[in-house]
Amino acid sequence: MSDVTSTPTAGAPGRPVLTVSALRRAFPVAGGGSLDVLNGIDLEIRAGEIVAIIGQSGAGKSTLLHLMGLLDTPTAGEVCFEGRNVAYLTDRERARIRNRAIGFVFQMYYLIPELTALENVFLPAMIQRSVPGWFGARRKARARAAELLAAVGLSERATHRPAQLSGGESQRVALARALMHRPDVVLCDEPTGNLDPSTKEGIHELIIRLNRDEGQTFVLVTHDPSLTQLAHRVLEIGVDGRIQEQVRPA
Ligand SMILES: Nc1ncnc2c1ncn2[C@@H]1O[C@H](COP(=O)(O)OP(=O)(O)OP(=O)(O)O)[C@@H](O)[C@H]1O
Ligand SMILES: [Mg+2]
């Protein structure tokens, strides 16, 4: 259980933020049939938690994270955000949750090649702004993006474009971008997969600090034992497409 005592941005600590029930996801296979990846997943992520999701390559971790981030639609079962079944929301309401309440760090980064590191962090957050006040908002957004790049150790790379960044640097830009709009829940797919131990340590400290000081909830898909160490709970997806909480010594 979480020992976070600060007031989270998303309400009282321990309140369910994301709930998944009997979730299934199958993909059609060329030539007929289907690949059943998730076979009835139940889980609850509570406000202020850091939850790690582990499992073998191909077990369905990214698939589950995309469903939890409202980026994909399940074959069966439910995803509830703050108690509301997202299947019954309008596209606009779902987009609002994705853009305001959830931050997503993709396994493949998806940085925009034409933009600098700094622009990749702040411009996506500007897209939803209306024209009045755009320039003032832009100035503030740039300043916040610069702070976030500093927090992930990349001030020196602010003007680099993605092709001029290493894999680990791109990954940190993607993390800064996900944090830009101060999401209640941050979903990270392998956030430290390409990082050396000391850079990784910096990212761990950032996650702990944001969780403790801002009450941000983190779901971390990872193969990295040092990242599972900092989680309050560890869930494992098996090759059978089901999930189990790992029992750890107190
Ligand atoms: N769009 C898709 N169409 C068909 N099959 C897919 C699709 N997306 C994923 N899969 C398959 O679903 C399974 C789970 O994929 P997923 O990306 O969720 O695995 P993962 O646990 O994240 O693996 P890794 O640790 O390698 O990132 C894989 O066998 C993959 O080939
Ligand atoms: Mg994956």
Query: Which mutation among 27, 65, 219 tests ligand 1's pocket best, with the greatest number of atoms within 8 A of CB?
Result: 27
Show pLDDT as tens, one digit a residue, over the chain (250 residues). 333 333 334 445 689 999 999 999 999 999 899 999 999 999 999 999 999 999 999 999 999 999 999 999 999 999 999 999 999 999 999 999 999 999 999 988 899 999 999 999 998 888 766 677 778 888 999 999 999 999 999 999 999 999 999 999 999 999 999 999 999 999 999 988 888 998 899 899 999 999 999 999 999 999 898 899 999 999 999 999 999 998 876 6
The 3-class secondary structure across 108-167, one letter per residue, is: CCCCCCCCCHHHHHHHHHHCCCCCCCHHHHHHHHHHHHHHHHHHCCCHHHCCCCHHHCCH
Cα–Cα dist 194/190, whole Å:
8
For residue 243, give the ligand nearest its CA.
1
Instruction: Spell out which residues line ligand 1, taking CB within 6 angstroms.
Output: 27, 35, 37, 55, 57-63, 107
Structural contact between residues 57 and 230, judged by C-beta atoms closer than 8 angstroms: no
User: How far, in Å, is the centroid of ligand 1 from the Cα of 62?
Assistant: 7
Domain topology for 16-27+37-245: Rossmann fold (3.40.50)
